[in-house]
């Protein structure tokens, strides 16, 4: 019976993924500025579907709205980080060492979420560790003079990493609140 209860959300995630992917597909019919390949659609389908499925799977384990909001912020932040990095690169443009460093952030979030099973206290630690990692990445990028990459700057490195560190810290604070209220 539990399998049936999980089928409906998976179908909704798949449907939502398809609807979202219709936007660039339709745009391609009217402008040359949107030029996606089959690979672009596949990558975005996997990214959107896995993000939605991750949220559904994690939120089903959670008892309260604050905890679900924390998961939503963490999942959305991770989606945004991966999407921006794949689309144009967070630092500079395209694939480079600075952009590959964000794989560490993704690994911390994914491994930490599985390790702590989305429990509020554990996820608080994961989110703050992720925020700290982003700040350390910024320091490494500055020390390694990655601001010299084409299209990059010191300001870009500081703002990008600070932006995501704030998002993950916000999720960490929500998890802390959920933990203090014994929401799990």
Q: Which pLDDT tens digit goes with each residue over 7-20?
A: 889 999 999 999 99
pLDDT on residue 1:
40
pLDDT digits (tens, 9 = 90+) for 73-113: 999 999 999 999 998 889 988 788 999 999 999 999 999 98
Can you tell me the mean pLDDT for 132-152? 94
For the chain, give every domain's residue range: 1-60, 64-184
The region of weakest confidence among 20-24, 118-122, 141-145 is 118-122
pLDDT on residue 30:
93
pTM over 0.85: yes
pLDDT on residue 141:
95
3-state per-residue secondary structure call for the chain: CHHHHHHHHHHHHHHHHHHHHHHHHHHHHHCCCCCCCHHHHHHHHHHHHHHHHHHHHHHCCCCCHHHHHHHHHHHHHHHHHHHHHHHCCCCCCCCCHHHHCHHHHHHHHHHHHHHHCCCHHHHHHHHHHHHHHHHHHHHHHHHCCHHHCCCCCHHHHHHHHHHHHHHHHHHHHHHHHHHHCCCC
pLDDT on residue 57:
86
The pLDDT-based confidence of 59 (bands split at 50, 70, 90) is confident
């Amino acid at each position: 019976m539990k399998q049936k209860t999980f089928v409906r959300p998976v179908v909704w995630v798949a449907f939502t993924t398809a609807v979202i992917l219709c936007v660039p597909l339709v745009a391609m019919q009217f402008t040359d500025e949107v030029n996606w390949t089959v690979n672009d659609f596949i990558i975005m389908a996997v990214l959107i579907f896995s993000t939605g499925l991750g949220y559904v799977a994690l939120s089903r384990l959670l008892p309260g709205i604050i905890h679900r909001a924390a998961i939503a912020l963490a999942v959305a932040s991770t989606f945004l980080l991966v999407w921006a990095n794949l689309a144009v690169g967070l630092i500079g443009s395209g694939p480079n060492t600075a952009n590959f460093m964000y794989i560490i952030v993704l690994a911390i979030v994914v491994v930490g979420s599985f390790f702590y099973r989305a429990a509020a206290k554990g996820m608080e630690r994961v989110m703050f560790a992720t925020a700290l990692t982003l700040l350390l990445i910024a320091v490494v990028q500055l020390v390694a003079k990655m601001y010299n990459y084409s299209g990059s700057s010191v300001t870009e490195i500081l703002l990008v990493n600070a932006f995501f560190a704030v998002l993950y810290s916000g999720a960490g604070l929500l998890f802390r609140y959920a933990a203090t209220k014994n929401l799990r």
